[in-house]
Chains A and B, each alone.
Chain A
Amino acid sequence: MYRNKKYSEKLLEQLGQVNDSIIADAYLADTPEKLQALKQKERCEVGARSTIKNLWLKAIAVTASLAITFGIALGIYISGESNPDTLPWNEDDENVLVEIDSIDALNYYAAKRVLTEKYSARSAAGVKNAVFQATDHSENLKDGGKDTGDEDTVYYEFDPTMDYSLTKVIFFKAELKNPKGFLAGKLGGIGVIDVVISESSLETMITFKRGSRYYSCLLNSYMDGMMEFSTHKYIEGFHIVKKMQGDNFSFFVKTVDKRVVMLDCDFSIVSEGEWKWEADRISVFEETSRVVNTNSSFKIWEIENYFNSNTGNAYVLSPTLERADENCCDKDRRRSMR
């Protein structure tokens, strides 16, 4: 009996050392519904594995026959999403009222909706392959005609009643470490931030979010998996601002195998009144990277309703058209960019 008890005590202790992800799954599956969802998910994974295996076998057969017939080398383009198949954020923490009062917020929540639908398996249709390109969609925008008193600044206005379409979304989390960095200045401090990169009906843009504050700017170049976003083209409320003169800072984002491995912000030090921007020290939480090819189109109120009803906020917002002209974006932004 003593020996048996010692053995089971050891076993009990050892059970606490099993893989974290196994324990975390069991912790999250704390209701019959979530348990059911976990079972469903695993069944799908098993099914997907067997489907992939079959597809590979077919692909090998087809490739071999084509190679024999035509004697040419075939390039294989492998499309798909990053490995993890769960949301990179805790759904329990999403109980906030969503109000979209700028392009930044629109971009952020549209991407979040795409990811939520993707990883909760509610919608997987319409997936297509897309690559980022430094395309200029500004013909879809009208000249905002804002009087800035600044000749080299051009405003393009986004009509918030229009659909916002996305073809590709990248999401990841990062940590800002330099309190004097450019982004920390824009976002009001350091810490963990959400980053969304999307190819949309406007342009390809990157949106940084810390708490309720955003900063977004647009893609300038794309080469060998490296995207360069420039602060010469940034978002202000429902406007895209192109200000080609003055200091320009760049964010470099690199993805490898559908994982974001680098977010760099090597600014030269620039004085701006009392303020001096410095290089940002940013670390990327690679495991939170999610890449989704999509073909989604939303109106602002549809995104707001989606999150506000999903998160238990019974309050349903009306379309935020009236907010379009209010330019609710952070007022500091324009000041700081000049």
Chain B
Amino acid sequence: MDDLTIIRLLHERSEEGLVHLKDKYSRLYKGVLNGILGETADIEECENDVLLAVWNTIPPNSPHYLSSYICRIARNIGINRYKSNTRQKRGAGECDVMLSELEDCIPDSFGDHMYDQMEWGQRVNFMLDSFLRGLDAEVRVLFIRRYIFAESVRSLSQRYDIGEKQIALKLFRARKKLKKMLEKEDIYV
């Protein structure tokens, strides 16, 4: 079923829309949650949270790209659960590894300018968009699948039939490039 029909059903408050959404996108949001949280008992609960969030936000929203919308919801739910689990010293899937990898992007020195939360968000968003658009298509897909869909390097290697080392190297270079952009733009927390 196409996305527009699913969205229309959700706007009509038809649970059929949710069923079709689950059929079409469960692999996507389960993958994201699994990547962030690992195989924990929380997954099923988070899956339900994703569906509930979709149900509660469409309407009023009518996302143009349903896949991205669901991915974003799943990520937010997964990351929030990760934070809560971390506070309770419970393990997580790829999230710890991803966070440690993303530390490569942290600028060595920080400027003097302090941004407020909203300004920071807008600047980072704009910068990340142009960073991703500037990447070669292959690296961009790898980067997004790694840090947005939370796919492991091994899974990426199997999916695209590219060596793990090669993928790790491409991601490393991309992170370094991002670090340079962050430094140039003087963006820090």
Residues of A within 8 A of B (CB): 3-32, 35, 38-39, 41-42, 89-90, 93, 173, 175, 191-192, 285, 287
Contacts and interface: CB of A to CB of B under 8 A. Distances in A.
Interface string B93-124: 00100111011011000000000000001001
B2 interface: yes
A15 to B, nearest CB: 5
Interface in B123-174: 124-125, 128-129, 132-133, 136-138, 140-141, 144-145, 147-149, 159-161
A8 B79 contact: no
A47 to B, nearest CB: 14
B144 A22 contact: yes
B75 interface: yes
Contacts of B68: 20-21, 23-24, 27
A91 to B, nearest CB: 10
Contact of A191 (B5, B75, B100): B5
Interface residues of B, number: 49
Q: Is the interface of B mostly helix, strand, loop or mixed?
A: helix
B189 interface: yes
A30 B133 CA distance: 18
Given A22-B144, A23-B67, A25-B140, 13 more contacts: A3-B189, A11-B124, A15-B128, A15-B147, A15-B148, A16-B71, A17-B72, A17-B121, A20-B63, A23-B71, A26-B148, A27-B28, A38-B137
A18 B4 CA distance: 22
B124 A93 contact: no
A220 B5 CA distance: 31
Given A27-B68, A175-B8, A18 B129 contact: yes
Contact of B161 (A18, A32, A287): A32
Given A17-B125, A18-B129, A22-B144, A35 B65 contact: no
Contacts of A29: 137, 141
B105 A14 contact: no
B40 interface: no
Contacts of A24: 65, 67-68
Given A10-B189, A12-B98, A17-B121, A30 B159 contact: yes
Nearest to B124: A14
